[in-house]
Amino acid sequence: MNDNSTYYTDLITRYFSGEIAEDELRLLSDWMKTDPQHLETFRQYQKTWQLIEKQNIQSKVDTDQEWIAMQAKMTAPASGYEIPAKVISLDQNRNRTAFSLQNTWKVAAAITILLVSSFLLYFLISKPTEIIVTAQAGNREQVLPDGSVVSLHAGSQITYPSKFASGTRKVELKGEAYFKVAHDKTKPFIVASGDARVEVLGTQFNVKTNSLSNTMEVVLTSGKVSVYYKEKPQDNVLLAPGEKAVLHAEKKQITKSSNTDVNYMAWKTRVLVFDNETLSQVVNTLQNVYQKQIILADAPLSGCRVTASFSDQSLESVLQVIKETLDLQVTQNGNRIELSGKSCK
């Protein structure tokens, strides 16, 4: 969250102009709740905005009066012709009526502005907010209200409340994320994806959900976690560091095993280690880490073996090493990368 006062001033301006986005509205709401002075700042801007709108209304009314006057001049008799006194009196009555109606309209509009603004302010402050964070262009790190830190893989999304007010700290995950959970024994931390649940008090772990296979994969780095399904919390499975659990939603099954994938966090660390791995396994890892489509144009290439390590290198650099090692050709068509060449056998 941006703590720059100018940033929030801009959000307030965007709010009153009706241009604020949903995620910006949530940020503004959270900012106002953190400090009474922030709320007072908002109220001051509200008063200024109401005065500006009132002036705009006055300006509109003055313009209407000018138009009425102009019409009167355009329809008036030619110069030298005296208008009867009775006609002048009638016009004055009409002007008084118009002025009275316009004054009524000004008051009604000002009251409407005040009511709408007050309602929006009440709605903004009192309504519990739900925050949705999406890592769009690349990986993204997000600090949660309890101090927990979530690293989101590109294309992943997390949803959580602006404040963990209940007895648990629940977040919804789509995609892949690494969690560093702040310890709080009074409020278990729960990661949810559909009916699958991961529950902890304070630890570090990686979660990967797959909407196509309807699975959730959990790899524990430190501490202890419990994985289960919403309807069957009693059938939970405990994980120790270095263990992995795969939850199959359709069958409501949980499979526990030792984690043998040394690159399970490569998307975050950018450290890749391949020890006599098949090229097909290498390609799968590279696709996940760099979010690019990589195709083996020749099926026999899948059995080629790769032994190499990389640290914070670009995909182009990694593919160049593989190309020279296995004597391959690398062709890129848009976001699609093809590897072709002779079999390694």
Residue 152, beta-bridge partner list: 140, 177
Evaluate if residue 13 carries a pLDDT over 70: yes
CB 175 within 8 A of CB 155: yes
Residue type, 92: Q
Closest of 286, 329, 338 to residue 308, by C-alpha? 286
CB atoms within 10 A of CB 272: 20
- Distance from the Cα of residue 37 to its chain's centroid: 26
Evaluate if residue 289 carries a pLDDT over 80: yes
CB 200 within 8 A of CB 181: yes
Closest of 129, 161, 125, 111 to residue 42, by C-alpha? 125
The least confident of 33-42, 160-169, 318-327, 335-344 is: 33-42
Residues in the chain: 345
Burial class (CB in 10 A: 0-12, 13-18, 19+), 22: exposed
CB 26 within 8 A of CB 129: yes
Give the highest mean pLDDT range of 120-124, 165-169, 200-204, 222-226.
222-226
pLDDT tens readout for residues 185-197: 899 999 999 999 9
Class of domain 266-340: alpha beta
Query: Stretch 239-265: mean pLDDT, rounded?
Result: 94
| Radius of gyration from C-alpha coordinates of the chain | 32
All structural domains of the chain with their residue ranges: 5-126, 131-258, 266-340
CB 204 within 8 A of CB 221: yes
Evaluate if residue 184 carries a pLDDT over 60: yes
Closest of 247, 227, 245 to residue 237, by C-alpha? 227
CB atoms within 10 A of CB 209: 24
The least confident of 15-29, 101-115, 118-132 is: 101-115
**What is the pTM assigned to this prediction?**
0.63
83 Cβ neighbours under 8 A, 6+ residues apart: 76, 77
Multiple choice CATH, 131-258, 2.40.50.100, 3.40.309.10, 2.60.120.1440, 3.40.50.620: 2.60.120.1440
The least confident of 57-66, 166-175, 319-328 is: 57-66
- Distance from the Cα of residue 344 to its chain's centroid: 45
Evaluate if residue 30 carries a pLDDT over 50: yes
pLDDT tens readout for residues 33-89: 877 888 888 888 777 777 766 665 555 555 556 556 555 655 555 444 443 444 444
